[in-house]
Structure 1
Protein backbone atom coordinates (compact mmCIF):
# COMPACT_ATOMS: atom_id res chain seq x y z
CA UNK A 1 0.00 0.00 0.00
CA UNK A 2 1.29 3.45 -0.91
CA UNK A 3 2.16 5.54 2.14
CA UNK A 4 0.40 8.88 2.36
CA UNK A 5 0.50 12.11 4.29
CA UNK A 6 -2.18 14.75 4.69
CA UNK A 7 -1.86 18.47 3.99
CA UNK A 8 -4.38 21.11 5.01
CA UNK A 9 -5.52 23.86 2.65
CA UNK A 10 -8.08 26.63 3.06
CA UNK A 11 -9.53 27.00 -0.46
CA UNK A 12 -11.95 29.87 0.21
CA UNK A 13 -10.30 33.10 1.31
CA UNK A 14 -10.79 36.80 0.63
CA UNK A 15 -8.48 39.80 0.72
CA UNK A 16 -9.08 43.52 0.47
CA UNK A 17 -9.39 42.97 -3.29
CA UNK A 18 -12.93 41.74 -2.55
CA UNK A 19 -15.52 44.47 -2.03
CA UNK A 20 -16.26 43.01 1.42
CA UNK A 21 -12.74 41.90 2.36
CA UNK A 22 -10.73 43.26 5.33
CA UNK A 23 -7.56 41.17 5.07
CA UNK A 24 -4.38 42.17 3.28
CA UNK A 25 -2.55 39.41 1.40
CA UNK A 26 0.30 39.62 3.91
CA UNK A 27 -2.09 39.31 6.87
CA UNK A 28 -3.71 36.31 5.19
CA UNK A 29 -0.37 34.52 4.80
CA UNK A 30 0.80 35.42 8.31
CA UNK A 31 -2.37 34.02 9.85
CA UNK A 32 -2.36 30.94 7.63
CA UNK A 33 1.15 30.06 8.78
CA UNK A 34 0.31 30.75 12.41
CA UNK A 35 -2.72 28.41 12.43
CA UNK A 36 -0.79 25.65 10.69
CA UNK A 37 -2.15 25.64 7.15
CA UNK A 38 0.02 24.10 4.46
CA UNK A 39 -1.63 25.96 1.58
CA UNK A 40 -4.20 28.63 0.80
CA UNK A 41 -6.32 29.52 -2.21
CA UNK A 42 -7.22 33.21 -2.50
CA UNK A 43 -10.70 33.51 -4.01
CA UNK A 44 -11.72 37.15 -4.17
CA UNK A 45 -14.99 38.10 -5.81
CA UNK A 46 -14.57 38.26 -9.59
CA UNK A 47 -10.90 39.27 -9.43
CA UNK A 48 -7.52 37.58 -9.11
CA UNK A 49 -5.63 40.75 -8.16
CA UNK A 50 -5.27 39.90 -4.46
CA UNK A 51 -4.52 36.26 -5.25
CA UNK A 52 -1.55 37.15 -7.44
CA UNK A 53 -0.18 39.44 -4.74
CA UNK A 54 -0.47 36.66 -2.17
CA UNK A 55 1.21 34.16 -4.48
CA UNK A 56 4.14 36.53 -5.00
CA UNK A 57 4.46 37.16 -1.27
CA UNK A 58 4.36 33.43 -0.52
CA UNK A 59 7.58 32.81 -2.43
CA UNK A 60 10.20 31.81 0.14
CA UNK A 61 7.61 31.07 2.84
CA UNK A 62 6.66 27.65 4.16
CA UNK A 63 3.21 27.85 2.61
CA UNK A 64 1.81 27.41 -0.88
CA UNK A 65 -0.49 30.12 -2.23
CA UNK A 66 -2.71 29.32 -5.20
CA UNK A 67 -4.51 31.83 -7.39
CA UNK A 68 -8.27 31.43 -7.36
CA UNK A 69 -11.47 33.42 -7.75
CA UNK A 70 -15.06 33.35 -6.51
CA UNK A 71 -16.80 34.05 -9.79
CA UNK A 72 -20.40 35.23 -9.97
CA UNK A 73 -22.02 32.89 -12.47
CA UNK A 74 -25.60 33.20 -13.68
CA UNK A 75 -26.53 30.37 -11.30
CA UNK A 76 -24.56 31.39 -8.20
CA UNK A 77 -21.01 31.60 -6.95
CA UNK A 78 -18.27 29.21 -8.07
CA UNK A 79 -14.75 28.83 -6.68
CA UNK A 80 -12.09 28.53 -9.36
CA UNK A 81 -8.78 27.09 -8.17
CA UNK A 82 -5.49 27.20 -10.04
CA UNK A 83 -6.50 29.44 -12.95
CA UNK A 84 -4.53 32.67 -13.39
CA UNK A 85 -7.36 34.77 -14.84
CA UNK A 86 -10.81 35.53 -13.45
CA UNK A 87 -13.54 33.86 -15.51
CA UNK A 88 -16.13 36.09 -17.14
CA UNK A 89 -19.03 36.57 -14.71
CA UNK A 90 -22.65 36.05 -15.63
CA UNK A 91 -22.25 32.83 -17.62
CA UNK A 92 -24.04 29.58 -16.64
CA UNK A 93 -22.32 27.72 -13.82
CA UNK A 94 -21.78 24.45 -15.77
CA UNK A 95 -20.20 26.27 -18.72
CA UNK A 96 -17.98 28.33 -16.41
CA UNK A 97 -16.92 25.23 -14.48
CA UNK A 98 -16.09 23.36 -17.67
CA UNK A 99 -13.97 26.24 -18.98
CA UNK A 100 -12.05 26.29 -15.68
CA UNK A 101 -11.41 22.55 -15.87
CA UNK A 102 -10.39 22.78 -19.52
CA UNK A 103 -7.80 25.37 -18.46
CA UNK A 104 -6.34 22.96 -15.89
CA UNK A 105 -8.05 24.35 -12.80
CA UNK A 106 -10.64 23.02 -10.39
CA UNK A 107 -14.22 24.18 -9.98
CA UNK A 108 -15.80 23.91 -6.52
CA UNK A 109 -19.29 25.11 -5.55
CA UNK A 110 -19.22 27.22 -2.36
CA UNK A 111 -22.11 27.45 0.12
CA UNK A 112 -24.62 25.73 -2.19
CA UNK A 113 -28.36 26.17 -1.60
CA UNK A 114 -27.83 29.41 0.35
CA UNK A 115 -29.66 31.49 -2.22
CA UNK A 116 -29.35 34.73 -0.23
CA UNK A 117 -25.55 34.24 -0.42
CA UNK A 118 -25.66 33.44 -4.14
CA UNK A 119 -25.35 29.72 -3.53
CA UNK A 120 -26.19 27.51 -6.50
CA UNK A 121 -29.29 25.32 -6.71
CA UNK A 122 -28.84 21.60 -7.11
CA UNK A 123 -29.98 21.53 -10.73
CA UNK A 124 -27.21 23.96 -11.69
CA UNK A 125 -24.39 21.95 -10.11
CA UNK A 126 -22.85 20.11 -13.02
CA UNK A 127 -19.35 19.70 -14.49
CA UNK A 128 -17.71 20.55 -11.15
CA UNK A 129 -14.84 19.00 -9.19
CA UNK A 130 -16.39 19.29 -5.76
CA UNK A 131 -18.82 20.80 -3.28
CA UNK A 132 -18.07 22.95 -0.24
CA UNK A 133 -19.84 20.94 2.45
CA UNK A 134 -18.42 22.95 5.37
CA UNK A 135 -18.52 26.72 5.01
CA UNK A 136 -17.43 28.28 8.29
CA UNK A 137 -19.69 31.30 7.89
CA UNK A 138 -22.89 29.82 9.26
CA UNK A 139 -24.74 29.57 12.55
CA UNK A 140 -27.45 26.98 12.03
CA UNK A 141 -25.38 24.64 9.78
CA UNK A 142 -28.51 23.65 7.88
CA UNK A 143 -27.11 24.30 4.42
CA UNK A 144 -23.80 22.64 5.22
CA UNK A 145 -25.68 19.48 6.12
CA UNK A 146 -27.74 19.74 2.95
CA UNK A 147 -24.57 20.24 0.90
CA UNK A 148 -22.99 17.15 2.44
CA UNK A 149 -26.03 15.02 1.66
CA UNK A 150 -26.01 16.32 -1.91
CA UNK A 151 -22.31 15.56 -2.30
CA UNK A 152 -22.75 12.02 -1.01
CA UNK A 153 -25.77 11.40 -3.22
CA UNK A 154 -24.04 12.65 -6.38
CA UNK A 155 -20.55 11.41 -5.44
CA UNK A 156 -18.89 14.80 -5.46
CA UNK A 157 -15.64 15.45 -3.64
CA UNK A 158 -16.07 17.30 -0.36
CA UNK A 159 -14.31 20.54 0.53
CA UNK A 160 -14.26 22.81 3.58
CA UNK A 161 -13.42 26.50 3.55
CA UNK A 162 -13.37 29.37 5.99
CA UNK A 163 -14.84 31.94 3.59
CA UNK A 164 -12.73 34.32 5.68
CA UNK A 165 -13.07 38.03 5.03
CA UNK A 166 -11.11 38.98 8.18
CA UNK A 167 -7.70 37.74 9.36
CA UNK A 168 -9.02 36.05 12.51
CA UNK A 169 -11.19 33.66 10.48
CA UNK A 170 -8.46 32.33 8.19
CA UNK A 171 -8.29 28.56 8.55
CA UNK A 172 -11.45 28.31 10.64
CA UNK A 173 -12.51 25.60 8.20
CA UNK A 174 -10.31 23.84 5.68
CA UNK A 175 -9.81 20.84 3.42
CA UNK A 176 -7.55 17.91 4.16
CA UNK A 177 -5.83 16.60 1.02
CA UNK A 178 -3.93 13.30 0.83
CA UNK A 179 -0.49 13.36 -0.83
CA UNK A 180 1.77 10.41 -1.55
CA UNK A 181 4.59 10.25 0.95
CA UNK A 182 7.69 11.94 -0.38
CA UNK A 183 5.73 14.19 -2.75
CA UNK A 184 6.81 17.81 -2.48
CA UNK A 185 3.92 20.16 -1.80
CA UNK A 186 3.66 22.50 -4.77
CA UNK A 187 0.73 24.11 -6.54
CA UNK A 188 0.84 21.40 -9.20
CA UNK A 189 0.96 18.50 -6.74
CA UNK A 190 -1.82 20.06 -4.65
CA UNK A 191 -4.12 20.54 -7.64
CA UNK A 192 -3.40 17.00 -8.80
CA UNK A 193 -4.16 15.56 -5.37
CA UNK A 194 -7.40 17.54 -5.01
CA UNK A 195 -8.47 16.41 -8.46
CA UNK A 196 -7.70 12.75 -7.67
CA UNK A 197 -10.06 12.65 -4.71
CA UNK A 198 -10.03 11.71 -1.06
CA UNK A 199 -10.49 15.26 0.24
CA UNK A 200 -12.15 15.84 3.61
CA UNK A 201 -13.78 18.94 5.10
CA UNK A 202 -12.67 19.90 8.61
CA UNK A 203 -13.03 22.84 10.98
CA UNK A 204 -15.41 24.94 13.01
CA UNK A 205 -17.93 27.72 12.40
CA UNK A 206 -17.82 31.44 13.06
CA UNK A 207 -19.19 32.80 16.32
CA UNK A 208 -22.67 34.28 16.41
CA UNK A 209 -21.12 37.74 16.85
CA UNK A 210 -18.91 37.31 13.78
CA UNK A 211 -21.86 36.00 11.81
CA UNK A 212 -24.08 38.95 12.72
CA UNK A 213 -21.28 41.41 11.94
CA UNK A 214 -20.85 39.87 8.50
CA UNK A 215 -24.60 39.89 7.94
CA UNK A 216 -24.81 43.64 8.51
CA UNK A 217 -21.72 44.21 6.38
CA UNK A 218 -23.23 42.21 3.53
CA UNK A 219 -26.55 44.00 3.90
CA UNK A 220 -24.82 47.25 2.99
CA UNK A 221 -23.80 45.62 -0.27
CA UNK A 222 -27.25 44.07 -0.87
CA UNK A 223 -25.91 40.55 -0.32
CA UNK A 224 -27.25 39.71 3.12
CA UNK A 225 -26.65 36.13 4.24
CA UNK A 226 -29.47 34.58 6.23
CA UNK A 227 -28.00 31.16 7.04
Structure 2
Protein backbone atom coordinates (compact mmCIF):
# COMPACT_ATOMS: atom_id res chain seq x y z
CA UNK A 1 0.00 0.00 0.00
CA UNK A 2 1.34 3.40 -0.98
CA UNK A 3 1.22 5.60 2.09
CA UNK A 4 2.97 6.51 5.32
CA UNK A 5 5.59 8.71 3.62
CA UNK A 6 7.74 10.43 6.22
CA UNK A 7 10.12 12.63 4.18
CA UNK A 8 10.42 15.91 6.12
CA UNK A 9 11.76 17.71 3.04
CA UNK A 10 8.49 17.72 1.14
CA UNK A 11 4.83 16.70 1.22
CA UNK A 12 3.91 13.42 2.86
CA UNK A 13 1.46 10.97 1.36
CA UNK A 14 -1.26 9.36 3.44
CA UNK A 15 -3.27 6.25 2.59
CA UNK A 16 -6.91 6.79 3.51
CA UNK A 17 -9.96 4.58 2.95
CA UNK A 18 -12.69 7.19 2.56
CA UNK A 19 -15.74 4.90 2.51
CA UNK A 20 -16.19 2.33 5.28
CA UNK A 21 -19.26 1.08 7.16
CA UNK A 22 -19.73 -0.30 10.67
CA UNK A 23 -22.56 -1.91 12.59
CA UNK A 24 -24.15 1.54 12.87
CA UNK A 25 -25.31 0.92 9.29
CA UNK A 26 -28.45 -1.18 8.83
CA UNK A 27 -26.64 -3.44 6.35
CA UNK A 28 -23.40 -4.10 8.24
CA UNK A 29 -22.34 -6.13 11.27
CA UNK A 30 -18.70 -5.00 11.42
CA UNK A 31 -17.53 -3.50 14.70
CA UNK A 32 -15.41 -0.38 15.01
CA UNK A 33 -12.66 -2.54 16.51
CA UNK A 34 -12.67 -4.79 13.46
CA UNK A 35 -12.45 -1.79 11.12
CA UNK A 36 -9.52 -0.23 12.95
CA UNK A 37 -7.67 -3.51 13.38
CA UNK A 38 -7.90 -4.26 9.68
CA UNK A 39 -7.00 -0.68 8.73
CA UNK A 40 -3.85 -0.88 10.83
CA UNK A 41 -2.89 -4.30 9.48
CA UNK A 42 -3.08 -3.19 5.83
CA UNK A 43 -1.14 0.02 6.46
CA UNK A 44 -3.82 2.69 6.28
CA UNK A 45 -3.06 6.02 7.90
CA UNK A 46 -6.72 6.92 8.28
CA UNK A 47 -10.22 5.65 7.63
CA UNK A 48 -13.48 7.53 7.15
CA UNK A 49 -16.48 5.98 8.89
CA UNK A 50 -19.43 6.64 6.60
CA UNK A 51 -22.44 4.80 7.94
CA UNK A 52 -25.86 5.18 6.38
CA UNK A 53 -27.47 8.31 7.87
CA UNK A 54 -25.77 7.64 11.21
CA UNK A 55 -22.74 8.76 13.19
CA UNK A 56 -23.42 6.24 15.94
CA UNK A 57 -19.99 4.61 15.74
CA UNK A 58 -17.97 7.80 15.95
CA UNK A 59 -17.77 8.22 19.76
CA UNK A 60 -16.42 4.69 20.20
CA UNK A 61 -14.06 5.09 17.24
CA UNK A 62 -12.61 8.34 18.54
CA UNK A 63 -12.06 6.77 21.96
CA UNK A 64 -10.03 3.81 20.74
CA UNK A 65 -8.41 4.91 17.46
CA UNK A 66 -5.12 5.76 19.20
CA UNK A 67 -4.77 2.12 20.23
CA UNK A 68 -4.49 1.18 16.55
CA UNK A 69 -2.49 4.16 15.30
CA UNK A 70 -5.18 5.02 12.75
CA UNK A 71 -6.89 8.40 12.36
CA UNK A 72 -10.69 8.32 12.19
CA UNK A 73 -12.22 10.83 9.79
CA UNK A 74 -15.83 11.51 10.84
CA UNK A 75 -18.40 11.07 8.13
CA UNK A 76 -21.78 9.76 7.06
CA UNK A 77 -23.32 8.39 3.86
CA UNK A 78 -26.39 10.57 3.46
CA UNK A 79 -29.55 9.42 1.68
CA UNK A 80 -30.51 12.38 -0.50
CA UNK A 81 -33.42 12.68 -2.90
CA UNK A 82 -30.98 12.07 -5.75
CA UNK A 83 -28.84 9.27 -4.33
CA UNK A 84 -26.13 8.82 -1.77
CA UNK A 85 -23.62 11.48 -0.74
CA UNK A 86 -20.56 11.09 1.49
CA UNK A 87 -20.32 13.92 4.01
CA UNK A 88 -16.76 13.89 5.37
CA UNK A 89 -15.55 15.89 8.34
CA UNK A 90 -18.99 16.24 9.92
CA UNK A 91 -19.98 15.15 13.41
CA UNK A 92 -23.74 15.31 12.87
CA UNK A 93 -25.66 13.61 10.05
CA UNK A 94 -27.23 16.04 7.57
CA UNK A 95 -30.98 15.88 7.03
CA UNK A 96 -32.04 13.13 4.65
CA UNK A 97 -34.33 13.34 1.64
CA UNK A 98 -33.19 16.72 0.35
CA UNK A 99 -31.83 17.28 -3.17
CA UNK A 100 -28.20 16.29 -3.47
CA UNK A 101 -26.91 19.79 -4.37
CA UNK A 102 -28.73 21.28 -1.38
CA UNK A 103 -27.28 18.62 0.92
CA UNK A 104 -23.81 19.15 -0.50
CA UNK A 105 -24.02 22.88 0.13
CA UNK A 106 -25.09 22.25 3.73
CA UNK A 107 -22.13 19.91 4.21
CA UNK A 108 -19.72 22.46 2.81
CA UNK A 109 -21.20 25.29 4.88
CA UNK A 110 -20.56 23.20 8.00
CA UNK A 111 -16.90 22.83 7.03
CA UNK A 112 -17.24 19.32 5.65
CA UNK A 113 -16.45 17.77 2.30
CA UNK A 114 -19.14 16.49 -0.09
CA UNK A 115 -18.13 13.44 -2.15
CA UNK A 116 -20.36 11.54 -4.59
CA UNK A 117 -19.93 7.77 -4.03
CA UNK A 118 -20.42 5.12 -6.74
CA UNK A 119 -21.92 7.64 -9.23
CA UNK A 120 -24.24 6.48 -12.03
CA UNK A 121 -24.95 3.15 -10.28
CA UNK A 122 -28.66 3.72 -9.79
CA UNK A 123 -29.28 0.28 -8.26
CA UNK A 124 -26.84 1.32 -5.50
CA UNK A 125 -28.38 4.77 -5.08
CA UNK A 126 -25.67 6.40 -7.16
CA UNK A 127 -26.33 9.95 -8.32
CA UNK A 128 -26.90 10.83 -11.96
CA UNK A 129 -24.90 13.43 -13.87
CA UNK A 130 -27.78 15.87 -13.54
CA UNK A 131 -27.64 15.72 -9.74
CA UNK A 132 -23.87 16.09 -9.33
CA UNK A 133 -23.55 19.78 -8.51
CA UNK A 134 -21.91 21.80 -5.73
CA UNK A 135 -19.78 18.85 -4.62
CA UNK A 136 -16.09 18.72 -3.75
CA UNK A 137 -15.04 15.37 -5.20
CA UNK A 138 -16.22 12.21 -6.93
CA UNK A 139 -15.47 8.64 -5.86
CA UNK A 140 -13.77 7.23 -8.94
CA UNK A 141 -12.76 3.88 -7.44
CA UNK A 142 -15.25 1.90 -5.40
CA UNK A 143 -14.03 -1.60 -4.62
CA UNK A 144 -17.50 -3.11 -4.63
CA UNK A 145 -17.89 -3.70 -8.34
CA UNK A 146 -17.63 -6.70 -10.62
CA UNK A 147 -16.50 -5.25 -13.94
CA UNK A 148 -15.00 -1.87 -13.14
CA UNK A 149 -16.99 -0.23 -15.94
CA UNK A 150 -18.67 2.29 -13.65
CA UNK A 151 -15.37 3.15 -11.98
CA UNK A 152 -13.93 3.98 -15.38
CA UNK A 153 -16.99 6.03 -16.22
CA UNK A 154 -16.69 7.92 -12.93
CA UNK A 155 -12.98 8.55 -13.46
CA UNK A 156 -13.55 10.00 -16.94
CA UNK A 157 -16.42 12.15 -15.70
CA UNK A 158 -14.41 13.53 -12.78
CA UNK A 159 -11.49 14.33 -15.05
CA UNK A 160 -13.67 16.16 -17.57
CA UNK A 161 -15.50 18.13 -14.89
CA UNK A 162 -12.38 18.94 -12.88
CA UNK A 163 -13.40 17.10 -9.71
CA UNK A 164 -10.76 15.50 -7.48
CA UNK A 165 -11.06 11.72 -7.55
CA UNK A 166 -11.22 9.54 -4.45
CA UNK A 167 -11.16 5.84 -3.71
CA UNK A 168 -12.99 3.90 -1.04
CA UNK A 169 -13.61 0.26 -0.25
CA UNK A 170 -17.29 0.64 0.70
CA UNK A 171 -16.38 -2.16 3.10
CA UNK A 172 -19.09 -3.96 5.05
CA UNK A 173 -16.74 -6.76 6.17
CA UNK A 174 -13.23 -6.58 7.67
CA UNK A 175 -11.47 -8.28 4.77
CA UNK A 176 -12.53 -5.49 2.43
CA UNK A 177 -11.26 -2.53 4.48
CA UNK A 178 -8.52 -0.87 2.43
CA UNK A 179 -9.42 -2.80 -0.72
CA UNK A 180 -9.72 0.64 -2.33
CA UNK A 181 -8.30 3.81 -0.86
CA UNK A 182 -7.07 7.32 -1.61
CA UNK A 183 -3.53 8.59 -1.37
CA UNK A 184 -3.63 12.19 -0.19
CA UNK A 185 -0.63 14.52 -0.21
CA UNK A 186 -0.43 16.76 2.86
CA UNK A 187 2.14 19.15 4.29
CA UNK A 188 5.14 17.32 5.71
CA UNK A 189 5.14 19.23 8.98
CA UNK A 190 1.48 18.50 9.73
CA UNK A 191 0.08 15.54 11.60
CA UNK A 192 -2.37 12.97 10.33
CA UNK A 193 -5.39 15.18 10.92
CA UNK A 194 -8.86 15.32 9.46
CA UNK A 195 -8.32 18.93 8.37
CA UNK A 196 -5.10 18.06 6.54
CA UNK A 197 -6.78 15.16 4.75
CA UNK A 198 -9.82 17.21 3.71
CA UNK A 199 -7.64 20.11 2.57
CA UNK A 200 -5.59 17.72 0.44
CA UNK A 201 -8.72 16.36 -1.22
CA UNK A 202 -10.11 19.84 -1.86
CA UNK A 203 -6.83 20.81 -3.50
CA UNK A 204 -6.95 17.75 -5.74
CA UNK A 205 -3.83 16.16 -4.28
CA UNK A 206 -5.33 12.68 -4.53
CA UNK A 207 -4.85 9.39 -6.32
CA UNK A 208 -7.49 6.65 -6.15
CA UNK A 209 -6.10 3.13 -5.85
CA UNK A 210 -7.42 -0.35 -5.24
CA UNK A 211 -8.62 -3.68 -6.53
CA UNK A 212 -12.14 -4.89 -7.17
CA UNK A 213 -13.89 -7.42 -4.99
CA UNK A 214 -14.14 -10.96 -6.25
CA UNK A 215 -17.43 -12.33 -7.54
CA UNK A 216 -17.78 -14.39 -4.36
CA UNK A 217 -17.21 -11.34 -2.13
CA UNK A 218 -19.63 -9.32 -4.22
CA UNK A 219 -22.40 -11.88 -3.87
CA UNK A 220 -21.74 -12.39 -0.14
CA UNK A 221 -22.10 -8.67 0.44
CA UNK A 222 -25.48 -8.52 -1.26
CA UNK A 223 -26.68 -11.63 0.56
CA UNK A 224 -25.72 -9.98 3.86
CA UNK A 225 -27.39 -6.72 2.85
CA UNK A 226 -30.61 -8.52 1.96
CA UNK A 227 -30.67 -10.44 5.24
CA UNK A 228 -29.99 -7.39 7.40
CA UNK A 229 -32.40 -5.17 5.49
CA UNK A 230 -35.16 -7.75 5.89
CA UNK A 231 -34.40 -8.07 9.61
CA UNK A 232 -34.55 -4.29 10.07
CA UNK A 233 -38.17 -4.27 8.93
CA UNK A 234 -39.32 -7.14 11.14
Q: TM-score range by the shorter chain?
A: over 0.9
- Residue number in structure 2 paired with 1:208: 215
Counterpart check, 1:113 vs 2:114:
no
Root mean square deviation of aligned Cα: 1.5
User: Tell me, what secondary structure is at the counterpart of 1:30?
Assistant: helix
CA–CA distance in 1 between the matches of 2:62 and 2:169?
19
**Alignment equivalent of 1:13, drawn from 20, 25, 34:** 20
Gaps of 5+ in 2: 1-8
How many pairs were matched up?
222
In the TM superposition, what are the counterparts of 1:82-97 in structure 2 within 5 Å?
82-97=89-104
**CA-to-partner distance for each residue in 1:185-224, whole Å, 9 max, x for gaps?**
112222222222221100111111010112233345679x
- Residue number in structure 1 paired with 2:6: none
Range with bigger deviation, 9-18 or 185-194: 185-194
Counterpart check, 1:48 vs 2:55:
yes
Gaps of 5+ in 1: none
| Alignment check: 8 A CA contact 2:137 2:201 kept | no
Range with bigger deviation, 82-91 or 191-200: 191-200
In the TM superposition, what are the counterparts of 1:1-227 in structure 2 within 5 Å?
3-220=10-227
| Alignment check: 8 A CA contact 2:26 2:229 kept | no
CA–CA distance in 1 between the matches of 2:174 and 2:224?
16
CA–CA distance in 1 between the matches of 2:222 and 2:107?
30
| Alignment check: 8 A CA contact 1:134 1:202 kept | yes
CA–CA distance in 2 between the matches of 1:105 and 1:177?
16
User: Tell me, what secondary structure is at the counterpart of 1:59?
Assistant: helix
CA–CA distance in 1 between the matches of 2:66 and 2:106?
28
CA–CA distance in 1 between the matches of 2:197 and 2:159?
23
CA–CA distance in 2 between the matches of 1:41 and 1:192?
15
CA–CA distance in 1 between the matches of 2:164 and 2:89?
17
CA–CA distance in 2 between the matches of 1:18 and 1:222?
10
